[in-house]
Structure 1
Amino acid sequence: MRAHLHENWRDIPAQARGCAAALGNFDGVHLGHAQLVHTLRETRPDLPLAVVTFDPHPREVFRPQDPPFRLTLPDERFAALAALGVQHVFQIQFDEAFSLMPAERFVEDVLSNALGLRHVACGPDFAFGHRRGGTVSFLAERCGELGMGFTSVPVLADTAGPYSSTRIRRLLQEGYPDRAAKELGRSWSIRGAVQHGDKRGRLLGFPTANIALGRHLEPARGVYAVTVRLPNGQTRQGVANIGRRPTINDGQESRLEVNLFDYEGDLYGQTLSVALHSMLRAEKRFNGLDALKEQISQDAQAARAVLNAELAGQ
């Protein structure tokens, strides 16, 4: 069943009302989030499954000076939620005006009246409303009074502690996308439109698709074995560099440059989803373009070996 995205909470179609919805930011849509969604589905299998989430992330509104930190932007988050079986995603625009809404009004005006929810679920640390004044116990009480069911779902944890977006961000920043993938339930991906670059990759014999990191978290700078999902749904293997290209003294902001193996075609303007599988080496400066070209060739061979081994082990 195809998932539906609703971005105006004040104008929800009749067929999208009456859902059971999980509440949260769902940045990354990791295994802890999946546990929340699955528990809700098992609790209310009689109702359409939904998620109520927000964009931008509240931290982006309240702390705009912070470096980008998002694991998933709206398109990637929606795709991950749809893969979990979510039928309706209510994506509420979070801005200063919405942040001033009292917790009571959020439950009554948004969840009950506007969305027409019949059951609500959240994690034990969920907080909402102006100055995060709404607690889980308050939400449970008001849901009961308004005729909505309520479920508080315990956090999913392992020996290292609760699964969390913060923990996954740390793994990516330390250069462990393979370990992050185990907590996400899939490889971490950067989705974005291919932009024109300076064509240096083509001159080196390794043409690259250039994608700005934008609001995405910047993982450890270096070279990665990746797979790339094309707009037509095909997936290709490749090797990618994330960083500032010190050998050519680029000096600009970090970017993602990916070389798709055995691919010919114009990708400019198209949206790609680049999944990081393994970090091959850290970013470094080389003594000239010839040394860089030789290293890129070695990186491509290493990436093929890693990806083929991973494929064989499935």
Structure 2
Amino acid sequence: MKIYNHLSEFKKLNNAVATIGTFDGVHYGHQKIIKRLCELAKANGGESVILTFFPHPRLIIDPENQDLKMINTIHEKAKILAGLGVDHLIITPFTRDFSNLSPSEYIKNILVDTIGIKQIIVGYDHRFGKDRKGGMDDLIEFSKKCDFKIEEIPEQDINDVAVSSTKIRKAVLNGEVALAASFLGYNFSIYGRVIKGDKIGRTIGYPTANIFVEETYKLIPSDGIYAVTVELNGASFQGMAYIGQRPTINGMTRNIEVNIFDFDQEIYGQNIKMNFLEFLRHDVKFTGLEALKEQLFKDKEATLAYFKNQSL
């Protein structure tokens, strides 16, 4: 899959089959749409194109509201889309100027003249252009002038996509990562860089890698202990992750840490992927480090039991 970080990088195609959206999560509902996109492109001898936006339009239109968190970072999303067989991904910066394009400018300048659409897949009641005034009537009018076909995704499918995204975000925020995986079709994960911590974990026999997630818009699961797998340098390891403020030692910041089982390599500065498989328990304050150590022993036993059960 070819990735373009601006429309200006894209060279117009002779036979583009395109769809448009944020596709956050790239979950089962999204995958259904993308599968149809690739099928149409193949059947018509064309190339599949996804036009997506970064940052999310809501963060630009309503900058005061920073509560919206994304299931995927833009890099995670691109990786998943590549695995689904998409030919081209255009990540266009969503700016005030872009949001002010009239519906006719949006269709003519971007879809027709820049991308070269011969067919477009849009969701039921898809809105676009300044103040979201553009719709199916505008697409139909220009399709006659500019010779492209339109396929509309049924209302039920679009509603399912919206509901699934909402359910996924809610599940992750509640720590229900197994439920989120059932909607996504894959395990929710985070990517981050290993940074130095205060090394308290290693003094009680449970050294942890502290993970720094650069993208502040990334959705993070609720505080607690999780069974996870860690991907690093092409290898996968089992482990237990912690998210929280470390109340036992009166921590002041929210940390993301992982104790990787049977692992003793120095990995400061390296990037890792952590896949959340199962929620084990909520974060609690213990009477001291000895009590915390006893609980971590139980947590590791519970995590190992989870992996053993999964392999049966």
Instruction: Give the alignment's TM-score, normalised by structure 2.
Output: 0.90
Q: 1:240-281: CA deviations, max 9, x gaps?
A: 0112221111121x2321121112222222222211111001
Instruction: Give 3-state SS (helix, strand or coil) of 2:243's partner.
Output: strand
- Contact 1:24 1:126 (C-alpha < 8 Å) held by counterparts: no
State the match for 2:113 in structure 1.
113
**Aligned with residue 8 of structure 1, among 6, 9, 30:** 6
**Is the 1:155–1:162 Cα contact (8 Å) retained in structure 2?**
no
- Distance between the aligned counterparts of 2:166 and 2:159, measured in 1? 16
Say which SS state the counterpart of residue 117 (structure 2) adopts: coil
Aligned to 2:178: 178
Total equivalences in the alignment: 307
Q: How does 1:1-314 map to 2 (within 5 A)?
A: 3-13=1-11, 18-45=15-42, 46-61=45-60, 62-154=62-154, 163-213=163-213, 214-230=216-232, 232-252=233-253, 254-312=254-312
Structure 2: runs of 5 or more not aligned: none
Change (3 A) 1:295 1:143: farther
Q: Residue 111 and residue 221 in structure 1: after superposition, are their counterparts in 2 closer, same or farther (change >3 A)?
A: same
Q: Would the aligned equivalents of 1:7 and 1:90 in 2 still touch at CA under 8 Å?
A: yes
Bigger Rg, which one:
2
Counterparts of 1:221 and 1:17 in 2: how far apart (Å)?
50
Q: Is the 8 A contact 2:11 2:115 kept in 1?
A: no
Work out the percentage of aligned pairs sharing the same amino acid: 34
Residues 296, 38 of structure 1: CA spacing in aligned structure 2 closer, same or farther, 3 A cutoff? same
Q: Would the aligned equivalents of 1:26 and 1:33 in 2 still touch at CA under 8 Å?
A: yes
Cα distance change on mapping 1:271 and 1:157 into 2, 3 Å: same
Higher-helix-fraction structure: 2
CA shift, 1:160, in A, is 8.6
TM-fit CA distance, 1:67: 2.7
Cα gap change, 1:17 to 1:207, in 2 (>3 Å): farther
**CA distance in 1 between partners of 2:199 and 2:116 (Å):** 52
Instruction: Give the distance between the partners of 1:58 and 1:139, measured in 2 at CA.
Output: 21
Paired letter, 2:4: H
Q: Is the 8 A contact 1:286 1:292 kept in 2?
A: yes
AA of the residue aligned to 1:73:
T
Inter-CA distance 256–139: structure 2 relative to 1 (3 Å threshold): farther
SS in 1 for 2:7: coil
Which whole-Å CA distance do the structure 1 matches of 2:111 and 2:159 have between them?
35
RMSD, aligned CA: 2.3
8 Å contact from structure 1 (residues 27, 165) kept in 2: yes
C-alpha distance in structure 2 between counterparts of 1:237 and 1:127, whole Å: 44
Question: 2:106, 2:158 → 1: CA distance?
Answer: 33
TM-fit CA distance, 1:91:
0.6
CA contact (8 A) 1:126 1:136 kept: yes
Q: Label 1:159 to 1:27 Cα distance change in 2 as closer, same or farther (>3 A).
A: closer
- Is the 1:36–1:123 Cα contact (8 Å) retained in structure 2? no
Q: Aligned letter for 2:55?
A: P
User: Matched residues in 2 for 1:255 and 1:298: separation?
Assistant: 21
Q: Assess if the C-alpha contact under 8 Å between 1:12 and 1:114 holds in 2.
A: yes
| Secondary structure, aligned partner of 1:241 | strand
